[in-house]
Amino acid sequence: MNVRPDGGRTARSVDVLVVGAGPAGLAAAARLAAAGAGRVEVLEREPEPGGVPRLCVHPGFGADPRGRALDGPGSARRAVRAAVRAGAVLRTGVSATGW
Ligand SMILES: Cc1cc2nc3c(=O)[nH]c(=O)nc-3n(C[C@H](O)[C@H](O)[C@H](O)COP(=O)(O)OP(=O)(O)OC[C@H]3O[C@@H](n4cnc5c(N)ncnc54)[C@H](O)[C@@H]3O)c2cc1C
């Protein structure tokens, strides 16, 4: 999977930088990467992507294509897969501290 822990400082150039790999950031990254926006990179300060739903172990996060209810972690995994499949790069353990 294209999810990289990032301990170092490396200069990179991206076309789109998304701050935060929660549902909003992952959805934006998936759509933009799929639309051909170029190199789309998502920074996430936590060690794992997925945002708050990752910690919400209860249903209420929509359903999969077969209509089965998703819990938070399941929903987060789907969002991560969608972003990565679309071509976005996720970097975990990285905080944006300036703009
Ligand atoms: C207790 C609880 C229960 C909930 N239950 C439900 C539910 O049942 N169903 C439902 O649909 N919704 C539920 N929600 C709401 C849902 O979690 C939010 O709507 C959703 O997480 C918002 O997504 P987001 O991407 O905007 O933010 P977040 O999920 O908060 O994701 C933001 C991400 O950005 C990262 N980040 C922030 N600043 C930086 C930075 N400077 N650099 C790098 N990374 C950064 C954070 O670490 C985080 O991973 C619940 C929320 C809570 C708190």
What pLDDT is stored for residue 98 in this prediction?
86
What pLDDT is stored for residue 21 in this prediction?
98
Residue 63 near residue 69, CB atoms below 8 Å: yes
End-to-end distance of the chain based on CA atoms, in angstroms? 27
At 36-93, the pLDDT tens digits run 999 999 999 999 999 999 999 999 999 999 999 999 999 999 999 999 999 999 999 9
Q: Flag whether pLDDT at 8 surpasses 90.
A: no
Q: Flag whether pLDDT at 10 surpasses 90.
A: no
What pLDDT is stored for residue 12 in this prediction?
79
Q: Say how many Å lie between the CA of residue 62 and the centre of ligand 1.
A: 15
Q: Say how many Å lie between the CA of residue 3 and the centre of ligand 1.
A: 19
Rounded to whole angstroms, the Cα distance separating 41 from 38 reads 10
Residue 9 near residue 57, CB atoms below 8 Å: no
| Domains of the chain, each with CATH number or no CATH | 19-92 (3.50.50.60)
Residue identifier of the C-alpha nearest atom 22 of ligand 1? 23
Rounded to whole angstroms, the Cα distance separating 11 from 68 reads 43
Rounded to whole angstroms, the Cα distance separating 27 from 30 reads 5
Rounded to whole angstroms, the Cα distance separating 27 from 93 reads 19
